[in-house]
């Protein structure tokens, strides 16, 4: 059965970029404003899920040839990695460091190892959500 989904596809084309941009924005904004790794990851995942809903799996895979299971595993590795990494600097497990660096053009910016941790969280969320939705939808 061929489903007529012109509207969905047209809307998706326009909306997905907004959603993905929002996801990335939320991820970076997290430290000072609403957002963060978890919510950023969720927004990204929902954008990807929307793509899968509008197009078939093969088409999306051509555009995003990721293995989402590996992405989730990488996320966990990053999150636990920053936790263990702090041991090498002789500080308690999971200690995060932050500093301010003067970057040209942008001016003074805060940098924190929390960002790496949050990136791990975001990757895990995206990977797991997409994996679960794909497995359920492909299941016969």
Partner 1 sequence: MVTVLIAILFPFVCAALIPLLYRRLRRVSHLGWFVLAVPFILFLLLARYIPQIAEGKTFIHTYEWIPSFNINFTTYLDGLSMIFGLLITGVGSLVILYSIFYLSTKESLHHFYCYLLLFMGAMLGVVFSDNLMVLYTFWELTSVSSFLLIAFWHHRKASRAGARKAMTITVFGGLSMLAGFLMLFVASGSFSIREIIANVEVIRDHTLFTPALILILIGAFTKSAQFPFHIWLPDAMEAPTPVSAYLHSATMVKAGIYLVARFSPVFGGEAIWFWLVSVIGLATLFWGSFNAVRQTDLKALLAFSTISQLGLIMSLFGLGSVGHYYGYAENTILYTQASFAALFHLVNHSTFKGALFMMVGIVDHEVGTRDIRRLGGLMALMPVTFTIAVIGGFSMAGLPPFNGFLSKEMFFAAMLAIRNVEAFSITEVGLLFPIIAWVASIFTFVYSLILISRTFFGKLQPDKIDKKPHEAPIGMLISPIILSILVVGIFFFPNVLGHYILEPAMASIYPTFPSTSELTPHIHAWHGINAELLMTLGVIIIGAILFKTLKSWKPLYRIFSQKYTFNTYYNRLIEMSENGSAKLTNRYMTGNLTHYFIYIYVFFVALIAGYFIWSDAIVFDFAKDSTFESYELILVFVMVFAAIWMIFAKGRVTAMLLNGVLGYSIAFFFVIFRAPDLALTQLVVESVTTALFLLCFKYLPDLMPESAHKRIQWSNATISILVGATVTLIGLAVVHFDRFEPVSTYFNDAYELAGGSNIVNTILGDFRAFDTMLEVVVLLIAGLGVYTLTKLKPRKEKTDHEN
- Nearer to partner 1 by C-beta: 37 or 55? 37
* Cα pseudo-dihedral 87, 90, 95, 98, rounded to 10: -120
Residues that bind partner 1 (CB under 8 A): 26, 30-39, 42-43, 45-46, 49-50, 53, 69, 72-73, 75-76, 79-80, 83, 87, 90-94, 96, 98-99, 110, 112, 114, 117-118, 120-121, 124-125, 127-129, 131-133, 135-139
- Nearer to partner 1 by C-beta: 43 or 60? 43
DSSP 101: E
Q: Which two tokens stand for residue 13?
A: 């084309």
Q: Give the separation between CA 119 and CA 75, rounded to whole angstroms.
A: 7
Give the DSSP H or E segment for 57. Answer: helix 57-63
Nearest approach in angstroms of CB 61 to partner 1 is: 16
Radius of gyration of the chain (CA): 18
Nearest approach in angstroms of CB 138 to partner 1 is: 8
Evaluate whether 130 touches 68 at the Cβ level (below 8 Å). Answer: yes
Nearest approach in angstroms of CB 108 to partner 1 is: 13
Nearest approach in angstroms of CB 11 to partner 1 is: 14
């Amino acid at each position: 059965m061929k489903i007529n989904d012109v509207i969905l596809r047209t809307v998706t084309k326009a909306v997905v970029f907004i959603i993905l941009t929002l996801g990335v924005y939320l991820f970076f904004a997290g430290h000072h404003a609403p957002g963060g790794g978890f919510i950023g990851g969720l927004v990204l995942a929902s954008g990807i899920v929307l793509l899968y809903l509008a197009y078939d799996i093969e088409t999306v895979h051509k555009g995003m040839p990721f293995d989402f299971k590996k992405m989730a595993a990488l996320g966990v590795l990053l999150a636990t990695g920053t936790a263990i990494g702090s041991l090498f600097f002789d500080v308690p497990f999971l200690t995060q460091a932050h500093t301010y660096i003067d970057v040209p053009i942008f001016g003074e910016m805060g940098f924190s190892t929390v960002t790496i941790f949050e990136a791990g969280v975001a990757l895990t969320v995206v990977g797991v959500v997409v994996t679960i939705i794909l497995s359920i939808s492909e299941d016969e």
